[in-house]
């Protein structure tokens, strides 16, 4: 005997308890992200700090690690979500909102060893389709950054290639700079 089950809705997913590592809701399915390891963790924290040193100090943007963003029928948790200052969701009292129901302006993912590059790229493209200006997929195994721009053009940058950042941010990085953070001397 077969028992029919109703597909999970986004609303039902959002009522579930959070998981560690985070789970995402993509095309009616729950996908749990892999547990971050050393390289991932160091890249995420250093890149977040680097962006915020420039962006928050000038009130142009802010970078958030592991922030759930729900929009366009998906609920995803980019490794880093960057929002322009005027788009950061606030409560009536001026505090940061807990729920972000919009796409980030810049979505950054760091590929983990057991993660599907196709699924991560799908999330970046989803962000772009829903208003994000920029997406990065850092691949520590290849020392490369896959970049998706708002026209959905995809480029792979390595070595001394300048990495694009949100317009208006005084930040200059290369793939060599970013992956150089992994060497602790």
**Could you tell me if residue 89 is inside a domain?**
yes
**Could you tell me if residue 2 is inside a domain?**
no
Q: Using an 8 Å Cβ cutoff, are 76 and 68 in contact?
A: yes
**Could you tell me if residue 145 is inside a domain?**
yes
CATH of the domain at 86: 3.90.1570.10
Over residues 46-83, the pLDDT tens digits come to 999 999 999 999 999 999 999 999 999 999 999 999 99
- pLDDT, tens digit only, all 185 positions of the chain: 444 455 789 999 999 999 999 999 999 999 999 888 999 999 999 999 999 999 999 999 999 999 999 999 999 999 999 999 999 999 999 999 999 999 999 999 999 988 889 999 999 999 999 999 999 999 999 999 999 999 999 999 999 999 999 999 999 999 999 999 999 87
**Could you tell me if residue 81 is inside a domain?**
yes
Q: Which residues pair with 155 in a beta bridge?
A: 147
DSSP code at position 78: -
Domains contained in the chain, number: 1
- Strands 29-32 and 61-65, by their bridges, are unpaired
**Could you tell me if residue 108 is inside a domain?**
yes
**Could you tell me if residue 20 is inside a domain?**
no
**Could you tell me if residue 33 is inside a domain?**
no
**Could you tell me if residue 169 is inside a domain?**
yes
- Reported pTM: 0.93
DSSP for 124-175? HHHHHHTT-SEEEEEETTTTEEEEEETT--EEEEETTPBPP--TT-----BH
**Dihedral angle, C-alpha 115, 119, 123, 125, nearest 10 °:** 130
Q: Which residues form the domain of 92?
A: 40-181
């Amino acid at each position: 005997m077969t028992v029919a089950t109703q597909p999970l809705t986004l609303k039902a997913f959002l009522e579930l308890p959070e998981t560690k590592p985070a789970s995402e809701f993509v095309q009616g399915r729950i996908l749990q992200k892999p547990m971050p390891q050393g390289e991932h963790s160091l890249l995420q924290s250093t890149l977040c700090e680097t962006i915020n040193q420039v962006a928050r100090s000038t009130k142009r943007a802010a970078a958030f690690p592991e922030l759930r963003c729900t929009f366009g029928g998906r609920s995803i948790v980019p490794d880093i979500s960057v929002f322009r200052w005027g788009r950061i969701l606030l409560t009536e009292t001026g505090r940061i909102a807990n729920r972000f129901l919009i796409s980030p302006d810049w979505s950054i993912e760091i590929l983990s060893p057991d993660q599907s590059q196709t699924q991560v790229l799908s999330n970046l493209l989803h962000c772009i389709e829903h208003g994000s200006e920029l997406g990065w997929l850092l691949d520590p195994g290849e020392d490369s950054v896959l970049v998706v721009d708002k026209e959905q053009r995809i480029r792979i940058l390595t070595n001394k290639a300048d990495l694009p950042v949100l317009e208006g941010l005084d930040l200059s990085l290369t793939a060599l700079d970013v992956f150089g953070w992994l060497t602790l001397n």
